[in-house]
Amino acid sequence: MNKKEITEHNNKYLINIFERYRDLKNSKKQEFDNNDLWKIFEYYSCIKLSEEYGKPFYEYDDIDPTFKELNKMSRNDTGIDCSDLLNTIVQCKLRKNTLSWKECSTFFGSQNIYSIELKKAIVRWENLIITRNADCTLSENLLERKELFIDKLYIKQELIAFCENLIVNPPKYQNYNNDFILRDYQKEAINMIKENKKNVIINLPTGTGKNSVIIHSMEDKLKYLILVPRIILMEQLKNEIIKHKPNMKNKIQFIGDGNNIFDESKLITICVFNSINIIENHCLHFEKIFVDEAHHILKPAIYYENECDDYDDSTSDDEYNSENEEEDDEEDDEEDDEEDDEDNDDENNSEYEVVNINKYTEKIKDLIKYNNNVYLSATIDSTENFEYYSKDIRTMIESKYLCDYTIHIPIFDDDPTNKNICEHLLKNYKNIIIYCNSQKEGKELNILMNKLQSNSSQYIDCNTSKKKRESIIEKYKNGEMPFLVNVRILVEGFDAPITKGVCFLHLPSNKTTLIQIIGRCLRLHPSKTIANIILPFSSDNDKDNICNFMKVIAKNDSRIKQSFENKQIGGYISIENTNEDHDNCEEDENIEFKYNMIYNSIGILQNGEEIWMKKLEEVKKYIDENSKTPPQHDKNNIVAKLGTWINIQKQNYKQKKFNMKNKEIYNIWTEFTNDSKYKQYFISNEECWNESLSQVKKYIDENSKTPSQHDKDKNIKQLGYWIINQKTKYKNKKQIMCNQEICNKWTEFLNDPKYKQYLMSYQEIWNKLFNEVKNYIDKYNKRPSSSDKDKNIKQLGSWISHQQKNYEKKERIMKNKEIYDIWTDFINDNKYKEYFMSNEETWIKKTEEIKEYMNKNNKRPSQNDKDKKIKNLGKWISDQQINYKNKENIMKNEEIYNTWTKIINDSKYKKYLMTYQEMWNESLNEVKKYIDENNKRPSSEDNKNKNIRQLGNWILDQQKSYKKKENIMKNEEIYNKWTEFINDPKYKQYLMSNEESWNESLSQVKKYIDENSKIPSQHDKDKNIKQLGSWISNQKLNYKNKNKIMKNEEIYNKWTEFINDNKYKQYFK
C-alpha cells in the first residue's frame, strides 16, 4: 500500500479522533484522563502503526465480523484492540503507573488459535504489539517477557498536541454521493406496481428507499393517494416528491393536520391514517393507493403503544431544562399554541388513536376492493389477495445498500442509577440513539449522561415542541451531539445516516418495533463501517428480553442466525464483561454469572428441555466421579461452565423463573437436589454460610489470625475472600445479610471478644498499629526496627516503612484523608519528629550530638559506656569511620562525606575522632616521649597523674593483646610496630615483663649491696638508688602478705632464698 492509500485509510481515524476530542472539549472538562482518551489512543495507534509499517491497521470495531469469528477474536477473550488482518495484533494501553502481566495475559494467550483443519493449536499471529504511553512502566513479569512482543511507546503530550492540531485543522470529510439512481430492486418493485392490476405488498428494509419506489411508480397527470400513520411523515414525503419531481410541487395536498377539505384538482393526496374518513368517498378516482408503514394496518392493536405513558410529573420540564440546557429556550417558549397543536395532532392523541384504531384501519383495509393498493413496510409478511415483493435485510447488506451491524451485550453489575451503562457508552461509542422505556427514565438518563460528560446528549419525547425537536435532531444529524435520548419517538420517519448505533436501555416486546428501530442505524454513511446494536444487561429481568431479541433477529437475518445457532461469540454477537479491570471478586462473579446466562441461551432455538437434561447428566457424572460439584472457577473451562450452570439453576429454581417455569424441569430438579446421593451438594445458602462461619472460627482458633485471601492454600484463600465479601454485604445490608438471622449472627461474631481483634476494619487495624508504634517510641525512645529479632517489633518496623511509602505517594490507605492527616500530624510532632527524619537529617543531628558531648566531656563517647545513649553515639562514630574509609552507605553522599572530612580535621575534635590505628600511634608516641623524659615506663598504678596511669594501662593492654595476637594486634602493621618498639635497645628495658623487670631489680640490689655493704635507701638523693630502696620496701610488704608479684611462686622462692642468703641475710633482719 502506497503512502497516498495509507493517508486515505487513516483519514477515517483522523475524523474519529477529531470528533471525539471535539466532544471532550465541548464538555468543558479542565483535564482529560486516560479514561477519556483511551478510544482516541486506539485510533492514534492505528494511524502511527499504519504509517510506520506501510500497511493498514484496523481498529477492532472496524474488523469484519466474519473475520473475527474465523480467527476467534472475541474482544473479552483476546484483548485485541487493532490488527493488520495479516500477521499482527495490537493491544493499546494508557496507564498512570505500571502495566502488569495480568492486564495483558489474555492478549498474549490469543496468539495461538485451534485449527479445526489441522486439529491442533497453531500460531495465528506472528507479531504482538503493545502500544502504551511513554510515562507508564512495565512490571517485572512483562520485562522478563519483553522478547515476546514489540513495545511501542507514544508520548501522551504528543497525542494531546495531535488532537489540538486537529481542532485547529480539521480533517477532510469524504464527499457523500447524493446522486440519485434507481437501484435494481427498486426498479423491480416499481415494475410490479405499474404492471400489476392487483394489490401489492412491497417489503423492503428501512433505509432502502421505499419512498423512491412510491414516487417513481407514479405517472404524470394521474391521481394518487398516499396514506401515512404520522403527520411528520406527510411533510417528509412531500419534500421527497418535490425533490424528485419539482413540477409536482403545487399538485400535492395534505389531509389531516387541520386540513379537512379535499381538493379534486390535486394529483397527489397525502393523508394521515386517522383522517381517512375525509377522503373515503373519493378513493375510486385514484390510480394507486399507497399505504406507508402498512404493518400498522395489518397489526394495529399490537403495534400501537401510548407514547406518553409512564410519565412522571415529579420531573418537570422546567427542572429538567435547568439542569441540561445551556442555550436559551425563550424562542421555544414564544411558540404559539397552533404550532404545538400541529406537532401533537399525531402524538398527543395517541390514546384516541388506540381507542379508535379499528375504525380507521378497517376503512383503510376496505380499500383493497379497488385492487390498486400498494402496502409498503420494512416489517410485513405476505398476505392473501396481495402480490408480494420482498428483499430481506441481509441481502441488502451484502449488496452494499445497507451497512452491516453487530450486536453488543455489555454486562454490568446491578446499578439502579444506570451510571455504569452511561460510562460504557461514553467510553466506547458516539452517534448513538438511546431508546428508553419511559419519560422518567429518559430524562434521568440524559441528566446522568451530561453529568458524566457535559453536552454529550439531549432528550426528546412526545411533549418536546416541534421547533425544539427539529433543532435537537439537526444538531445530532450534523454530528454536534454524540448521543440522542428518546422515548418511542425515533421509530419511523427518522432519517439520520450518521447514526452508528442504537442502544436499547429496555427492549420493546414488539418485534416490529425492534426491526424498525434497528433500521435507524443501517443507512450508509462515509464515516461508518459497522453499526452497533447495544443491549445492556444489568438486571436479571434483562436476560429474557435479550434472549427474545436475539431469537427475533436470528429469524430475520440469516447471518445473525448462523452465529446464533453456532454460538459464535466476538463477531456478529459480542458478550462483553465491562468489569475486566476491577478486583472486586463479588462483582466479577455476578458478571460472570450473567455472561453465562446469556451465552448458554445463545443457540437455543428449540429442544431446550433436551439440552437441559444433557447438562444435568453431565453434572451428575461429574459429582459421581469427583465427589463434589463442579467449581465455577475451575481451570478447566468445561467444568467451570457446569459450575455456573448449577448456580443459574439454583437461582431460577428459587424464583421459579426462566426454564424453571417448565413444570417437568422444575420437578426433575427438585428430585435431583433431594436425592440422598446428591443432597449434600445442594445445601441452602444459609447452611453454606453457617458452615463457612464455623470454618473461619476454627481457623482463627488454631492460627490466631484471620485466613488470608492471598494464602497459597486454596481453601484458606477462599475463606479469606468469604470474610471480605461478608464485610461488604454486612456494611451495605445486601444479599444474604438481608436475612436478619444471618445478620445477627455476623454482628455477634464481629463483637465476640475472642474474635473481635481479627475482624477489625482496615482503619481500625491501622489505628491499633499506630498506637502501638507511639507506645513503643514513648517507652524505648527509638522507633521499632524492621530488622529486630522480636517478631512483633519487626512487624511494627515494617508497618512504619509501608506507611512512609504510601504517605509519600498518597496511595492505598493514605488516600483516606483522615488517616493521611493523622500521619502528617504524627511525623511533624516535636515528640516524634526525630524518629521520622530522613537519613541525611538524622546524620546531621547525630554530628551535633557528638560535638556537644566532646565539648562538654573533652573526650569521644565510648561504645563501652554504661550509658546507653553515650554507647550508641560511640558506636555511631565507629560506623561513620568505616563508611568514610570505604566511601560506602551514607558516605556516598558527597555533601555528607565533605562534612565528615571537615569535622575530623577540625583541631577542636580531631583528637577525639581519630581511627583506632591513629589513636594507637598517638598513644605509642606519648609512651615513647614519657620514657625519654623520665627514663622509666609510665606506671599503671600512678595515683597522682591520671594521664600517666592511662598510658601505663595502655601498655599492659598492648602486651596482653600482643602475646595472644588479638584485638588491634590482629592488624599486621600495628603488630610489627609493637615488635620493633619492644626490641628497640632504647626502650627494651622499660618494656620487660613483670618477672623480667623484677629479676633485673633484684640484680641491681645485689650489686649495690656488694659494692656498698648496705641496702639502697629510699631516702637517698640519687634517684636510681632511691627507686631501688622503694622497690625493696614494696617487695618486703608483698612478701609478707604474699600479694601482687609474690603470688608468683618462682618469684616468692627467689626472694625467700635472697633474704636468707648468708651474704645478704644481715641486711634484712
H or E stretch covering 994? helix 994-1012
Which three-class secondary structure state does DSSP give residue 440? helix
CA dist 429 and 410 (Å) reads 12
* pLDDT score recorded for residue 309: 36
Most confidently modeled of 386-390, 488-492, 513-517? 386-390
pLDDT digits 0-9 by tens, 1047-1063: 999 999 999 999 999 99
The pTM for the full model equals 0.58
At 194 the pLDDT is 93
- Predicted pLDDT at 168: 94
Q: What is the pLDDT of residue 154?
A: 96
Tell me the range of 420-434, 645-659, 902-916 where mean pLDDT is highest.
420-434
| Confidence class for position 330, pLDDT limits 50, 70, 90 | very low
Look at residue 670 in the predicted model and tell me its pLDDT. 92
The predicted model gives 809-818 an average pLDDT of: 90
Tell me the pLDDT band of 101, cut-offs 50, 70 and 90: confident
With a CB cutoff of 8 Å and minimum separation 6, the contacts of 396 are 204, 205, 208, 402
Residue 412 pLDDT more than 90?
Answer: no
Nearest CA to 104 among 121, 80, 73, 124? 80
Mean pLDDT within 101-122 = 85
Residue 163: pLDDT over 90: yes
Residue 634 has what pLDDT?
79
The identity of residue 509, as a single letter, is: S
**Percentage of the chain exceeding pLDDT 90:** 49
Whose cell is 403545487? That residue is: 250
Which spans in 604-684 are helix H? 608-626, 637-655, 663-674
- Residues 964-997 as b/e (b if ≥16 CB within 10 A, e otherwise) read eeeebbeeeebeeebeebbeeeebeebbeeeeeb
Averaged pLDDT of the chain = 86
Identify the bridge partners of residue 113 per DSSP, sorted by sequence position: 122
Q: Predicted confidence band at 608 (pLDDT cuts at 50, 70, 90)?
A: low
Region of residue 1031 (phi > 0: left; psi between -120 and 50: alpha; otherwise: beta): alpha
- For residue 323, the model assigns a pLDDT of 40
Judge whether 75 and 116 are in contact, CB under 8 Å.
no
pLDDT confidence of residue 24: 93
pLDDT (0 to 100) of residue 787: 79
Task: Report whether pLDDT(855) > 80.
Answer: yes
pLDDT in tens, 18-73: 999 999 999 988 889 999 999 999 999 999 999 999 999 999 999 999 999 899 88
Non-local (6+) Cβ contacts of 143 within 8 A are: none
Q: What is the pLDDT of residue 687?
A: 83
Q: What is the pLDDT of residue 352?
A: 42
Distances, alpha carbon 122 to alpha carbons 82, 114, 116, in Å: 20, 6, 10
What is the pLDDT confidence band of residue 597, given thresholds at 50, 70 and 90? low
Give the integer Cα–Cα distance in Å for 3 and 742.
Answer: 69
Torsions phi, psi of 586, nearest 5? Answer: -65, -45
Neighbouring-strand partners of residue 92: 131
Q: What would the mean pLDDT of 70-93 be, rounded to a whole number?
A: 90
Cα 1024 from Cα 1035, distance rounded (Å): 17
Residue with the bigger pLDDT between 855 and 839: it is 855
- Is the pLDDT reported for residue 329 higher than 60? no
Among the listed residues 194, 354, 340, the one whose alpha carbon sits nearest the alpha carbon of residue 273: 354
In what order do the strands lie in the sheet containing 252-255?
A: 252-255, 268-272, 224-228, 288-292, 373-377, 199-203, 386-390
Q: What is the pLDDT of residues 884-939, one digit of tens each?
A: 989 998 899 999 999 999 998 998 888 888 877 888 988 899 989 999 999 888 88
Q: Which sign, positive or negative, has the C-alpha torsion 991, 993, 994, 999?
A: negative
Count of H helices and E strands in the chain? Answer: 44, 23
pLDDT band at 602 (very low <50, low <70, confident <90, very high): low
CB 124 within 8 A of CB 113: yes
pLDDT at residue number 960: 87
Using alpha carbons only, give the angle 800, 801, 805 rounded to the nearest 5 degrees: 115
Secondary structure of residue 224 in the 3-state scheme: strand
Task: Report in angstroms the alpha-carbon separations of 370 from 79, 287, 387.
Answer: 61, 10, 14
Contact between residue 571 and residue 68 where contact means Cβ atoms under 8 Å apart: yes
Quickly state the pLDDT bin for 596 (edges 50, 70, 90): low
Answer whether residue 522 shows pLDDT above 90.
yes
Lowest mean pLDDT among 117-126, 188-197, 573-582: 573-582
Per-residue model confidence (pLDDT) at position 135: 92
pLDDT for 747-783, tens place per residue? 999 999 999 888 887 788 899 899 999 999 999 988 8
* For residue 982, pLDDT beyond 50: yes
pLDDT band of residue 306 (cuts 50, 70, 90) is very low
Q: Which residue has the higher pLDDT, 387 or 682?
A: 387
| Mean pLDDT value of segment 449-460 | 94
- Residue that is written with C-alpha cell 529486630 in the block: 788
Helix, strand, or coil (residue 523): coil
Distances (CA, A) of 531 to 46, 222, 427, 434, 505: 20, 41, 16, 14, 17
Query: Mean pLDDT throughout 458-478?
Result: 91
354 pLDDT higher than 60: no
1053-1063 as b/e: b if 16+ CB within 10 A:
eebeebeeeee
Cell digits of residue 22: 471535539
- Mean pLDDT value across residues 570-587: 67
As a whole number of angstroms, the distance between CA 35 and CA 13 comes to 18
* CA dist., res. 228 & res. 240, Å (int): 14
Say how many Å lie between the first and final Cα of the chain, rounded.
129
**Is residue 337 very low, low, confident or very high in pLDDT (cuts 50, 70, 90)?**
very low
pLDDT above 70: residue 299: no
